[in-house]
Amino acid sequence: MNVSNRKIEWPTILLIGVTYLGWWAAGAFVYPLSGLLALALMAVFNALHSSLVHEVIHGHPTRNSRLNTALVIINPSVIWPFHRYRKMHLRHHDDERLTDPFDDPESYYRTLYAYESFPAWAKGVLGLSNTLIGRLILGPPMSTLALVMGDITAIRRGEDGVLWAWVWHCIGLIPVVYFVTQVFQIPFWLYFVTACYGGAAIISLRTFAEHQWHETPEGRTIIVEHSPLSILFLNNNLHLVHHKHPTAPWYDLPRLYRKNRTHWRALNHGYVYPNYWKLFRSYALIAKEPVAHPAWHRSKETE
């Protein structure tokens, strides 16, 4: 059974409270003593908030979707409007389309004909972003820029819901800006380039190798068995388990994996890493994947 039997998932409710309270405490009490430490802590809580948003998108922690949204709509990470992320991420969960440059909104692959049309500097940037260090540095600004530019185009076309997603996002940012600038007395630009960028970079570590091209849908999704960052990622390092049980709460994923570890490892054809340190050692400065999708949409003529 995928869905938790609990009407209210109290571990998630508690974690949401800890996240907001910890973020506030870092700004209110730590920042006057150590700005660097406070901003680092706020980056960690921003990453945790991003993971909680992902949890809410999948129907947690209550059976009331509006209540769930209200619990995380104030976004200290600043980046990514909740309603836009929800729409795009749920499209991403079509496993048959995973990694498709057109149909998977979270794919890092490009079509071959598009890639060949890029100038040399753009190819270089995209190649660098497929290294782990490059993804940590370039991933947050590249994904944010792509989102903003794409949504500007969507708003101009009159696409339903896009403008309102940004309106609600901006309303939710009002208390964040107030607390950062007026209560904590942190320059907003400094908060954005440290705590927001840092939180997004932490999440980029998780998403760096989550998916790869494989002939089978199951072979496209990773399992990272152990990580001290699991709590920040809400166990989405066990990413195949999440894709197969998308309504299971985060705290059930390790149990589901341990229950049939051999099955999971065989199901994704061995796309398994023991930890993120192994990924770092392998791909810190080496591109893990090509920029152009290795199998689909090989040329403009085949479109």
Task: Yes or no: say if 102 and 94 are a contact pair by the CB < 8 Å rule.
Answer: no
Local structure of residue 8 (DSSP, 8 states): B
Mean predicted lDDT score pLDDT of the chain = 94
Q: How many CA atoms lie within 13 A of 282 on its CB side?
A: 11
| Among 301, 284, 106, CA closest to 205 | 284
Task: Yes or no: say if 243 and 93 are a contact pair by the CB < 8 Å rule.
Answer: yes
pLDDT, tens digit, 9 for 90 and up, residues 6-35: 689 999 999 999 999 999 999 999 999 999
Q: What are phi and psi of 223, to 5 degrees?
A: -125, 120
Mean pLDDT over residues 128-148, rounded? 96
Task: Count CB neighbours of 101 within 10 A.
Answer: 18
pLDDT, tens digit, 9 for 90 and up, residues 218-273: 999 999 999 999 999 999 999 999 999 999 999 999 999 999 999 999 999 999 99
- What pLDDT score was predicted for residue 299? 46
Whether the pLDDT of residue 4 is over 80: the answer is no
- What pLDDT score was predicted for residue 295? 85
d(CA 268, CA 63) in angstroms, rounded, equals: 31
The domain limits of the chain are: 10-302
Task: Count CB neighbours of 300 within 10 A.
Answer: 12
Q: What are phi and psi of 188, to 5 degrees?
A: -65, -35
Task: Yes or no: say if 179 and 24 are a contact pair by the CB < 8 Å rule.
Answer: yes
